[in-house]
Amino acid sequence: MNSKELERIVSGLRDRYQAISPENIDKLKLLLPDYVNNVQLIIEIEKVALTYGMILKNVKFDLPKEEMPSGSRAPLTREQAARLKKEYGIFDLTFTTEGSYSNFVNFVRDLEKSLRIIDIESINFSSAENTGTGAQAARDIYKYELKVKTYWLKNK
């Protein structure tokens, strides 16, 4: 391949990129951002949950580590080594929420439809403590603990 052919290919790719609408570029950035925006992710998930009267509680996460800390001599686990080699990072998040089963199903369905890639790793549930009386206490309210992960592109 000579330089003129390479220049033509680069120019063609640039033209194709510039033909993408700004709205679609924003959607692509939401789908797979180029940085970890943990606060925004939590806010987005909470907005979906609030639609169904559910509140996020006990939110826990570790900031992703791209590299081993300097001076660390501990051997890497297979999972840590694999994550370092990938061109994307993984952000793990756990939280709890409470609500009816039907609201929970709708909440999960909306997460599934969101542009942001969110993989649900695990769901644990138990009956929530009933503090109401009468008909309100008989409602099917459960406590759900979710472990999810999302992804972001690493800057190279």
- Give the contacts of 151 (CB within 8 A, at least 6 positions apart): 32, 88, 89, 90, 91, 117
Q: Which residue is it, tokens 């800057």? A: 155
Do 84 and 123 belong together in one domain? Answer: yes
Highest mean pLDDT pick, 21-25, 51-55, 72-76, 87-91? 51-55
* pLDDT in the model for residue 3: 84
Contact 146, 122 (CB under 8 A): yes
2 plus 58 within the same structural domain? no
Comparison of pLDDT for 80 and 3, the residue scoring more: 3
Residue ranges making up the domain that contains 2: 1-31
Q: Answer yes or no: do 78 and 130 share one domain.
A: yes
Q: 51 is written with which tokens?
A: 């639609």
User: Are 39 and 19 part of one and the same domain?
Assistant: no
CATH classification of the domain holding 124: 3.30.70.60
On whether both 24 and 2 belong to a single domain, the answer is yes
> 105 with 142, same domain?
yes
pLDDT in tens, 125-145: 998 665 555 555 556 899 999
pLDDT digits (tens, 9 = 90+) for 61-100: 877 655 444 445 567 677 766 656 677 888 899 999 999 9
Paired residues of 86 in beta bridges: none
Q: What is the pLDDT of residue 82?
A: 62
Residue among 93, 94, 104, 92 nearest 143 (CA):
104
What pLDDT is attached to residue 67?
44
Per-residue pLDDT for 149 more than 50? yes
pTM of the predicted protein model: 0.68
Cβ contacts of 127 within 8 Å, gap of 6 or more: 141, 142, 143
Q: Average pLDDT over the chain, rounded to whole?
A: 81
Give the SS3 label for residue 131.
Answer: coil
39 and 72 in a common domain: yes
Tell me, yes or no, whether 21 and 84 share the same domain: no
Cα gap 44→125, rounded to integer Å? 22
Token representation of residue 129:
């403590």
Instruction: Give me the pLDDT at residue 135, please.
Output: 52
Give Rg (Cα) of the chain. 21
9 and 81 co-located in one domain: no
Cα gap 69→88, rounded to integer Å = 19
Q: How many CB atoms lie within 10 A of CB 103?
A: 19
Length of the chain: 156
Domain identity same for 2 and 63: no
Determine the Cα angle at 28 with ends 24 and 29, to 5°.
115
Number of domains in the chain: 2
